[in-house]
Amino acid sequence: MLSGEYVGADLSANEALLDAHPAEHLLVFPAVKFARKLPMLARSLLLCGLFMASSSAVAATIYKSTDANGVVSYSDKPTPGAWVFVFRDQMVEHLETQVRLDIQKRSGITAFVVRNELFAPVEVELKLDGVSNVRTSPPRLVRQVVPARSSVTLASLAARTVGQPPRYTHAFRYALGDPSARPRAYRYPLPWTGGPFQLTQGANGRYSHFGPKGRYAQDIAMPEGTPIIAARSGMVIKVENNQSGRGTDPSGNFVRVLHDDGSMGVYLHLMQGSVVVREGQRVGLGAALARSGNTGNSTGPHLHFVIQRNVGLALESIPYQFNQPVGSLPNFAVGGQ
Ligand SMILES: [Zn+2]
């Protein structure tokens, strides 16, 4: 029942009905009718409002059902035959093997060296406390951007008393990307081929789009195996391709692309083994990336697409718009291009 074909068939039937009998369906489809006249962002908020109206708590599970007339309704109450959505999309990315702090001790010198093996810059912060037995005191806090594929010495301590090492405690943290980058305006072409598909959770969606990393993400329901293509050119900087089912990471399989303006596009919940790009590969607009799936914390096949940037030792999602409405009637009418 959770198959993608169910989704596609359901949405197409619904929209065909709406097209044939617009007046009759005006009352039962108020949000959808009005949404057609609104810009994308407003439309996604409106759809979220529809979900929220039927959900009193911060519900993660929503039941979508379609009646004999093709009328779609959403509820937080279990409904026989309903399609169940459970969205928890927190991202967990393991960079610890690719961004490392090496503390090198040699001839009375202790050096703090960051090795960044990623194909993207990382912002790093080193904090030193309780420093003693040094010739000159180092800065307490060092924060800088380490370029892709490079090593940088953040600080070094020379022992004052020969034969005894410098003393200190240290803390190290980092975040992907360069916080000085300024994203340029860009309207994203749809990152898939086929369709039309429907947005199932927009920006600020209440199931899972409320944390800083995913607040402005959008979920698009689509059959597993739908080709996912780059919505913007850039450098592939992180991929995960081996997860099956829920796996160990809520993101499931994903591709992260660093755009030339420093922002990043992330395509999540991809099908296991479907990723066809590698870290360090440059991709152009429309390049094949993977196939959509249902991996990680996702119930119901969908693509979770989010744009993020480094806002200062943290990644946050930023608002974005597609360059056309998602799942709109004009798209359906031209045969799902
Ligand atoms: Zn999502």
SS3 labels along the chain: CCCHHHHHHHHHHHHHHHHHCCCCCCCCCHHHHHHCCCCHHHHHHHHHHHHHHCCCCCCCEEEEEECCCCCEEEECCCCCCCEEEEECCCCCCCCCCCEEEEEEEECCEEEEEEEECCCCCEEEEEEEEEEECECCCCCCEEEEEECCCEEEEEEEEEECCCCCCCEEEEEEEEEECCCCCCCCCCEECCCECCCCCEEEECCCCCCCCCCCCCCCCEEEECCCCCEEECCCCEEEEEEECCCCCCCCCCCCEEEEEECCCCCEEEEEEECCCCCCCCCCCEECCCCEEEEECCCCCEECCEEEEEEEEECCCCEEECCCEECCCCCCHHHHHCCCC
Distance 250 CA to ligand 1 centre (A): 10
Distance 187 CA to ligand 1 centre (A): 19
Mean residue pLDDT of the chain comes to 77
Distance 69 CA to ligand 1 centre (A): 29
Please determine, for residue 46, whether its predicted confidence score (pLDDT) is greater than 60: no
Q: Determine the pLDDT at residue 115.
A: 97
Residue 120 corresponds to which tokens in the numbers above? 């993207």
Distance 208 CA to ligand 1 centre (A): 6
CATH 2.60.40.10 residue ranges of the chain are 99-176
Give mean pLDDT, residues 239-262. Answer: 92
Q: Of residues 4 and 66, which shows the higher confidence score?
A: 66
CATH 2.70.70.10 residue ranges of the chain are 4-87+183-333
Please determine, for residue 156, whether its predicted confidence score (pLDDT) is greater than 90: yes
Distance 200 CA to ligand 1 centre (A): 9
Q: What are 14-33's pLDDT values in tens digits? A: 222 222 222 222 222 223 33
Q: Of residues 50 and 307, which shows the higher confidence score?
A: 307
- Give the C-alpha separation, 44 to 31, whole Å: 10
Distance 280 CA to ligand 1 centre (A): 26
Q: Determine the pLDDT at residue 60.
A: 40
- Give the C-alpha separation, 233 to 225, whole Å: 22
Distance 57 CA to ligand 1 centre (A): 18
Distance 188 CA to ligand 1 centre (A): 17
Percentage of the residues of the chain whose pLDDT score is greater than 70: 69
Residue with tokens 């790009």: 277
Q: Of residues 37 and 298, which shows the higher confidence score?
A: 298
Q: Of residues 128 and 24, which shows the higher confidence score?
A: 128
Distance 302 CA to ligand 1 centre (A): 8
Fold of 4-87+183-333: Glucose Permease (Domain IIA) (2.70.70)
Distance 321 CA to ligand 1 centre (A): 15
- Give the C-alpha separation, 298 to 102, whole Å: 37
Q: Determine the pLDDT at residue 259.
A: 98
Architecture category of domain 99-176 in CATH? Sandwich (2.60)
Most confident of 82-91, 190-199, 231-240: 231-240
